Amino acid sequence: MAGIDFQYSPFFLAGTQGSLYVSAYYPLNPHDLSKKAIVHIPAFAEEMNKSRRMVALQAREFVKNGYAVFIIDLFGTGDSSGEFSEATWSQWQNDLNSLCEWLLDREYQSLIFWGLRTGSLLALDFISENTLNVKQLICWQPVFSGETFVLQFLRLRTAAAMMNKNSPQEKVSDLKNQLLDGRSIEIAGYMLNPELACPMLKLNLKSLNLQNIELISILEVVNNLDKKATALAIKNHDFLKSQVKIVSEAKVLGCPFWSTQEITEVPGLLNETNNCLTLEG
């Protein structure tokens, strides 16, 4: 087909709790087929759906650089087995392990993880708990505090209740306590499993072992390139630099495509992400 310079070959991978859908992109030219793989760890809930366009565009860019790209739908999401209400953090860790084992069985020796939002946190946690050789971690708009993200997600429910006078008015702290008590909560159409949320509540950079990572690339989309970084962002980045051999950072101008009402593209992010591959060598 004219204009197509990659091979798209999705498949179902056997996971520990069912089939996992994997979108696979390969270089079209057989001579370009290398044993270098990039694994994408998606964003959370609706953020994943909003981001699919940008993720697909970036995958095609990676293929041009000779990489095979594998985008996994974690258990309970997308076209994989299970319901979101059944998803747990440990299960998602198992899903990543299943894909990595599949890649290693096929002699992919060079692995790069590419996480979006909470996908970056999941990747960091996975790497910290395993001896797998991940050459590089590329983070798109990374979430470095699981608690901050979960509380923001819970606010979607309290905000919706404020718009409806007939709904009970709840506090974020009350919803958090329900999760800690082992009770699931429905938020924006997603049933949040406490076994998914509670491990996230405990995760932050300082809780992770980053010694197995040599290179982290952090890319953020901002609405103003002149805007100064927050004190927390500076603190997180300084901590990363104290733990990881190489930390690269880049900001691009654009809209937060993972949360916009309409599907949005940020071409500058694609270009900056391609530049990260030169660091990996």
Cβ–Cβ < 8 Å for 95, 76: no
Task: Kindly state the greatest CA–CA separation across the chain.
Answer: 63
Closest among 24, 30, 31, 28 to 9, alpha carbons compared: 24
E strand or H helix at 21: strand 19-27
Q: For residues 145-174, give the mean pLDDT.
A: 87
pLDDT at 187: 95
Rounded to whole angstroms, the Cα distance separating 9 from 108 reads: 17
pLDDT at 1: 40
pLDDT at 54: 98
Q: For residues 165-194, give the mean pLDDT.
A: 91
Sorted by where each starts, the structural domains of the chain and their CATH numbers stand as 6-145+209-280 (3.40.50.1820), 146-202 (no CATH)
Separation of CA 66 from chain center? 22
Rounded to whole angstroms, the Cα distance separating 198 from 63 reads: 36
Query: Which stretches does DSSP call E strand in 28-150?
Result: 36-41, 68-72, 110-116, 134-140
Q: For residues 195-201, give the mean pLDDT.
A: 98
pLDDT at 10: 97
